């Protein structure tokens, strides 16, 4: 057995022993914090202070440190990767169905356009248009669109729950522009400046992806006296723009008037960049804005938002704040209008 294999087995045994000891100590001493103690492997940290609610976070960190070991151990990370594989399998089936019905003269969607490019470059050994890249780009778009869209909508409803005056104004605009006899459509957006301003302000306020996505510097760049070397990885930190006090009067408060002029018309703001900015901003921005408008207006056309019995206020601060700001789990009631 090679040295790496021996070390892997040794670490796996150590981790197993630490988890067993941690469970035993919790049983003996309850859920209170346990006193720190020296560890033979400092990089692992003090496992004796693990709490049940922090196990998932601890396992995530462990996986980042010891991926080969964690692949052999049970835990929530197994479910996570199973779900990812299920999504990838679903996408592969859809790509295969497109291949079987592909017509180069009738491009139905992104997959068809990619398949056409694959056909055009099939003799190019350096092409990036491969079946594997097709599956992965569709996967990226699928995950990015579904997760961010659903989380944004969930956060939107919670914020409006705490601002009934804003919700009431949206109801009034819906009744005035759309009525109750038909469903909202995308053409209604231009006639509903207040609702449009609310959606922009909701995206600014929840600050869904505060750091933005990483960027790679293509050439040495000078910015405000600083030199950023070629090849550097940078974060745009979208939160700094979305909470810029020079651009928004009350950057830490939810205020739709940030996007309304004196006449009540929708007003753009250059610092409004929840989808990032530049040539590599989110390619799904237009679709996402359309979806959020349609989902939100369709819900509020038929329902009022209300706290569940016994609840008068909820905490709008994120439950998790890192790459993304994830709302806390709350219940709310849909009351027919």
Q: Give the residue numbers of the binding site for heme.
A: 282
Non-local (6+) Cβ contacts of 239 within 8 A are 207, 210, 211
Tokens found for residue 47 = 């496992």
Is residue 297 within 8 A of residue 184, CB to CB? The reply is yes
Residue 280's nearest CA partner among 218, 215, 209, 217 is 215
Tokens found for residue 305 = 């938002």
Tokens found for residue 269 = 């703001």
Q: Whole-angstrom distance between the N-terminal and C-terminal Cα of the chain?
A: 70
Tokens found for residue 30 = 């309850």
Q: Give the residue numbers of the binding site.
A: 282
Q: Which helix (H) or strand (E) holds 305?
A: strand 303-306
Residue 302's nearest CA partner among 160, 169, 184 is 184
Is residue 163 within 8 A of residue 304, CB to CB? The reply is no
Provide the H-helix boundaries in the chain: 3-29, 55-65, 67-70, 76-100, 110-120, 131-161, 164-177, 193-206, 238-242, 285-302
Own/partner pairs, 287-291, CB within 8 angstroms, 24+ separation: 287/145, 288/145, 288/148, 288/149, 288/152, 289/199, 290/186, 290/189, 291/149
HSE (side-chain half, CA atoms, 13 Å) at 327? 23
Neighbours of 302 (CB within 10 A): 13
């Amino acid at each position: 057995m090679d040295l790496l294999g021996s070390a892997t087995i040794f670490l796996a045994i150590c981790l197993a022993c630490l988890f067993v000891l941690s469970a035993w100590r919790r049983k003996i001493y309850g859920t209170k914090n346990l006193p720190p103690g020296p560890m033979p492997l400092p990089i692992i940290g003090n496992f004796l202070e693990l709490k049940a609610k922090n196990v998932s976070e601890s396992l995530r960190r462990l996986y980042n440190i010891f991926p080969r070991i964690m692949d052999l151990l049970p835990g929530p990370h197994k479910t996570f990767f199973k779900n990812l594989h299920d999504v990838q399998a679903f996408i592969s089936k859809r790509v295969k169905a497109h291949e079987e019905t592909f017509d180069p003269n009738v491009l139905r969607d992104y997959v068809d356009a990619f398949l056409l490019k694959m056909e055009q470059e099939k003799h190019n050994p350096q092409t990036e248009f491969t079946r594997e890249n097709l599956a992965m780009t569709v996967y990226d778009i699928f995950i990015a669109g579904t997760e961010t869209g659903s989380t944004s909508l969930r956060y939107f409803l919670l914020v409006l729950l705490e601002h009934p005056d804003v919700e009431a104004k949206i109801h009034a605009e819906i009744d005035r522009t759309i009525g109750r006899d038909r469903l909202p459509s995308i053409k209604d957006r231009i006639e509903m400046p207040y609702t449009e301003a609310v959606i922009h302000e909701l995206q600014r306020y929840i600050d869904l992806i505060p750091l933005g996505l990483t960027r790679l510097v293509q050439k040495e760049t000078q910015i405000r006296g600083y030199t950023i070397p070629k090849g550097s990885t940078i974060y745009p930190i979208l939160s700094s723009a979305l909470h810029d006090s020079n651009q928004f009067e009350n950057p830490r408060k939810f205020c739709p008037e940030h996007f309304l002029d004196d006449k009540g018309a929708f007003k753009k703001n250059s610092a409004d960049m929840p989808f990032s900015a530049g040539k590599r901003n989110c390619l799904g921005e237009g679709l996402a804005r359309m979806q959020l408008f349609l989902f939100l207006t369709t819900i509020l056309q038929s329902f009022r938002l209300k706290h569940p019995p016994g609840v008068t206020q909820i905490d709008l601060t994120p439950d998790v704040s890192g790459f993304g700001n994830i709302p806390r789990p709350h219940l709310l009631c849909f009351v027919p209008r």
